Each structure stands twice: as structure tokens, then as C-alpha cells.
Amino acid sequence: MDTYKVLIVEDDDQAASTLSAHLERFAAEHGIRFLVTRLATAFDLSSADAVDLIFMDIDLPGINGMETAQMLREENATTPLIFVTNLAQYAVKGYQVDALDFMVKPVGYGDFAMRMGRALRAMEKNATRTIVLPTAGGTRVVDVRDIAYVERAKHDLLYHVTGIDHPLRRRGSISGAREELPQGLFITVSQGCLANMSHVSAVLGDSIQLDDGTSLFFSRSCKKPCLETLARYFGGTV
């Protein structure tokens, strides 16, 4: 099941609840999963983890949504952004910050679902990222979402990839792999292991379990930051 991280920046509790309910219904209808985080102001946006889709109210306290979007686009030009507001006069200006779409409150599910179809295509496009692995058996191109974990084996790295029976071996270091892989998706379980959070099925005390049954154990220094990152990734459920 594909999983996408969605951020709702909305100070109105009812409006945020409506969006969350629409997302839950849309996910059930399309066989996907959304991990939803809500911020009541834009002040904490800079500290939020990377997400796949942002819903942004414009009439926010402090820094408004349009100003926030302008700052966001200076560092992030690809994450789909949808404005949700009762300030319809900002619709045209929204496209100056490359907003994917614009929804006027109150948002009905029919309108939401129609626009989410476009957003889903944009998320799928962004999520398709490949990595080239030069191995002893030849060069392999794999989707980073299929890499369950990477472990160090002396001076080599072993990439455990879904759908491939044996790990792919290449020369390299864990620090090099960490820089190459999406930081919002992989965590450092130990000094010799990186794990793809989308493949984590359980957190068991001093280890995590992946969806293929593999157990990976935390090092002492990595356990706390890993648990905090996993909690944010799974919406505070870890």
C-alpha cells in the first residue's frame, strides 16, 4: 500500500477536521494511506519533516499562508501545495508560488476528490525516484522506495531490495549512502545500518521489525533520535 505524508496548515479546528476526514475517505476509496500532520500556524513549518503534499490556509495568524508559501518555494520547488481558504481573491496570486490548486471553504467532498486526483498524480511523480547501484554483477537501477534497508559489510554496502532475492553489493560507506538516499525516508538505526521507514511494521523495544520480518537493532546513540523520527513519520503513534 502506497503511503504519503500530508501536512495541513490550518488554524481552524473544524476546517482541519474536515480535510482530515476527506483524506481518510479518499484513501479508503483508492487503496492508499495518508499520514496526516496538522499545524495551527506556519511558524513550525520549517521544523516539519519532508512531506508529499501540503494543504495551506492563507488567513493564518502571524505569517500568512501566502508569505509562507513564498518562503517554502525558495527551498522546495516540487512539493504539491494546495491552498484552502475563504479568501478567494488570492486564487490568482496563488499560482505565483506554483500552487497546484485552490479550494474555497467550506470544501465539499466531491470538489475535494476531483482535485485530489490531480494531487495524487503529482505525488506519484515526485515519489518515483531511482538510484543507480554499480555492483559486481552489473549496474542496477532501483526505486528507492523498494530499498528496505542498507547494511555495512566490511568495505561494502548491502542493499536489501524488495523483489530481489539477494542483497545488492557495492563499494561505499554508510555516510555516503545516507547522503544519497532521501533523508525524510531513511533513518540511521546504527552506525552500520539505514532503514526505510515505509517498510517498518513494528517497533519492539530495542529494535524495529520490517515488513519482510527482518529485525534491525538500534545502537545506543541512535535509538532516541530514531524513535522520535519514527513517531513523527507515523503521526505520533510510535
* pLDDT, tens digit, 9 for 90 and up, residues 176-190: 999 888 777 899 999
* pLDDT, tens digit, 9 for 90 and up, residues 113-135: 999 988 988 887 777 678 889 88
State residue 125's pLDDT score: 76
Helices H / strands E in the chain, number of each = 6, 15
- Burial code (b: 16+ CB inside 10 Å, e: under 16) for 81-102 equals bbbbbebeebbeebeebebbbb
Grade residue 5 by pLDDT with cuts at 50, 70 and 90.
confident
* pLDDT, tens digit, 9 for 90 and up, residues 186-236: 999 999 999 999 899 999 989 999 999 999 999 999 999 999 888 877 764
Grade residue 90 by pLDDT with cuts at 50, 70 and 90.
low
* All cell numbers assigned to 11: 488554524
Contact 233, 201 (CB under 8 A): no
Domains of the chain in sequence order: 3-127 (3.40.50.2300), 130-233 (2.40.50.1020)
Residues paired with 101 in a beta bridge: 82
Which amino acid, one-letter code, is at 32? Answer: I
**Average pLDDT estimate for 66-92:** 79
How far apart CA 223 and CA 229 sit, in angstroms, is: 10
CA angle in degrees (0–180, nearest 5) for 131-146-153: 75
Q: Is the dihedral of CA 114, 115, 118, 119 positive or negative?
A: negative
CA distances from 101 to 41, 46, 49, 112, 180 (A): 20, 22, 22, 10, 31
Residues in the chain, overall count: 238
Q: How many CA atoms lie within 13 A of 218 on its CB side?
A: 17
**Average pLDDT estimate for 87-109:** 76
Q: Give the mean pLDDT of the chain.
A: 87
Predicted model pTM: 0.59
